[in-house]
Amino acid sequence: MTSAPAITIFIDADACPVKDETYKVAARYGLKTFVVSNSFMQIPASPLIERVIVDAGPDIADDWIAERAGAGDIVVTNDIPLADRVLKSGAAAIKPNGQPFTHDSIGSALAQRSIMEHIRSTGEITGGPRPFDRADRSRFLQALDTAIQKSRRTPR
Residue 2 pLDDT: 47
Q: Residue 21 contacts by C-beta under 8 Å, 6 or more apart in sequence?
A: 137, 140, 141, 144
Residue 84 pLDDT: 93
CB 147 within 8 A of CB 69: no
Q: How confident is the model at residue 155 (pLDDT cuts 50, 70, 90)?
A: confident
Rounded average pLDDT over 28-52: 96
* Three-class SS of the chain: CCCCCCCEEEEECCCCCCHHHHHHHHHHHCCEEEEEECCCCCCCCCCCEEEEECCCCCCHHHHHHHHHCCCCCEEECCCHHHHHHHHHCCCEEECCCCCEECCCCHHHHHHHHHHHHHHHHCCCCCCCCCCCCHHHHHHHHHHHHHHHHHHHHCCC
pTM as predicted:
0.85
CA pair distance 134, 40, nearest whole angstrom: 26
CA pair distance 13, 74, nearest whole angstrom: 13
Ranges 26-35, 89-98, 123-132, 135-144: which has the least confidence: 123-132
List the CATH code of the domain at 8-153.
3.40.50
Residue 43 pLDDT: 95
Q: Inform me whether the pLDDT recorded for 71 exceeds 70.
A: yes
CA pair distance 126, 124, nearest whole angstrom: 6
